[in-house]
Structure 1
């Protein structure tokens, strides 16, 4: 009875929320290189977001959208989460942030439903769009051909959780075990990183005539000795032969002609039917998982109030990063962007809490649309970072 009353009260309050999700930190807050939104409401529960910058230009981009998932009034309705971990620069992750969700809404409208096919088409349209942008930019800014991004997406719709992933960001579910009261970590993503033997085997089977398809360089496995991830949006220099030539920097150019794409933009997609014991999902770039295990992250969220969950996870990761360098967390916080990258990566975390009562009635609730981006900065469409030398492409 109490649960139903709280749900009713929350529904009554929802119409007063603004487009950023409401609450005292409606648009998010900043603390040095850290941006955070401690708590907001989405169609299926609460959420928490945090982003900490390490690079000169923030290469992580992210968003949470809730309400209509199509361009028509009849639905579908739900929550969309995106974490985009760029490498070589921020251009691709920014482009995804500006376009992927709009493509998803367009295809969902055409099919009048949410599906694996809708998500696949949205990923492909985003990849095609960025390729067109590279083609236009190539004469003035050829190095954009070596910029790419991982892409992690979660969609909650009609009681299902769709997870789509390119690269090595990760989504982890916190699942309650009623018999013990424990909340266990369940990894929902398949990662595409050459450090994993299964990925190296996949690449070798796709390129049996190329003995250098994966190379161990400085104790790190890299595709063609250049990049760690095997799937991404962008990185067209490893997908299209016309972009793997001068004036692209020599360090990105292959010694032999590119006969077929080396990297793929085909996401791994899974569908999880949500159950009452599913408590929350942590969506995060690999900067978090470099320092915390799945279960450590789940325990941090579970053992504290919902509010501030994402910020708490980022702080725990930074404390671990400081500890590895035998320094204090307070001293790490004083290090400026750019130099900070030597201590940790850009880190993005979105924690999405799952309220089973709300999930069961989400399609019938008149919920105002929410749109919020990690970092609190909404850049104009197609905005690009200042022209500069891309960082090493394997930075993911």
Structure 2
């Protein structure tokens, strides 16, 4: 990692520490939450570690009393996998994705002997189909599971390319040095959120017989007046080349 990027990461960490009243030494560096952090705003973290193209660090900040969101970073000699799963209605969907998606992706990649957009798409669709089967099998004893869901944002670095898969309105942003030597941020994904006029138009076009598919509720546009997130499979994958 270039020295300027390392300094930026440390500066960001110090800022988070000042906001939350914690320091880098206060958190665990394992793959999940430490028991002492279960009631802390800073849920868990990992310090700088090596990956196939440099180094990475992760910090997860607690947002809700019930942890509906999950994330993961898995690294190997040639591949780095990052997943962010923003759950809603409960933790079941995001937890299921965090446990199954990466394993499914690795299995398909090994079968095909490569990594591609189609393989990542297949892994996500297979995981979704499996979860729907899980919901149908669990509905009798837990009817509320039919109302849970999750956004899915995945990034994979392999052989100089970054593959980003997005379903929902989580957002991937990449930073690079501009001409003025300042970090320039570029959004890599498209939000699937009916707060955007173009997404509302798409959803209405997909449901022409339902005049209430998108309605305004509590000052915001929502699907059936409930949730803002929409899902558009046709806009699922973006691939961009990593330079430097």
Moved over 4 A (4+): 28-31, 264-267
Superposed CA deviations along residues 234-287 of structure 1, whole A, max 9, x for unmatched, are xxxxxxxxxxxxxxxxxxxxxxxxxxxxxx5666211111112xxxxxxxxxxx
TM-score (norm: length of structure 1) = 0.51
| Structure 1 segment 1-396 matched on structure 2, within 5 A | 26-27=29-30, 31=37, 32-34=40-42, 35-67=44-76, 77-177=78-178, 179-231=179-231, 268-276=236-244
Change (3 A) 1:49 1:171: same
1:394 maps to which residue?
A: none
Tell me the secondary structure at the aligned position of residue 209 of structure 2: coil
Distance 1:60 1:25 in 2: 18
Tell me the secondary structure at the aligned position of residue 111 of structure 2: helix
1:33: how far off? 3.1
1:378 maps to which residue?
A: none
TM-score (norm: length of structure 2) = 0.82
Distance 1:50 1:110 in 2: 33
Give the gaps of 5 or more residues in structure 2: 3-26
Distance 2:233 2:90 in 1: 18
Contact 2:29 2:47 in 1 (8 A): no
Name the count of aligned residue pairs: 213
Give the gaps of 5 or more residues in structure 1: 4-23, 69-76, 232-263, 277-396
Contact 1:123 1:267 in 2 (8 A): no
Tell me the secondary structure at the aligned position of residue 59 of structure 2: strand
Contact 1:124 1:265 in 2 (8 A): no
Distance 2:59 2:187 in 1: 20
1:45: how far off? 1.2
The higher-RCO structure (CA 8 Å, 6+ apart) is: 1
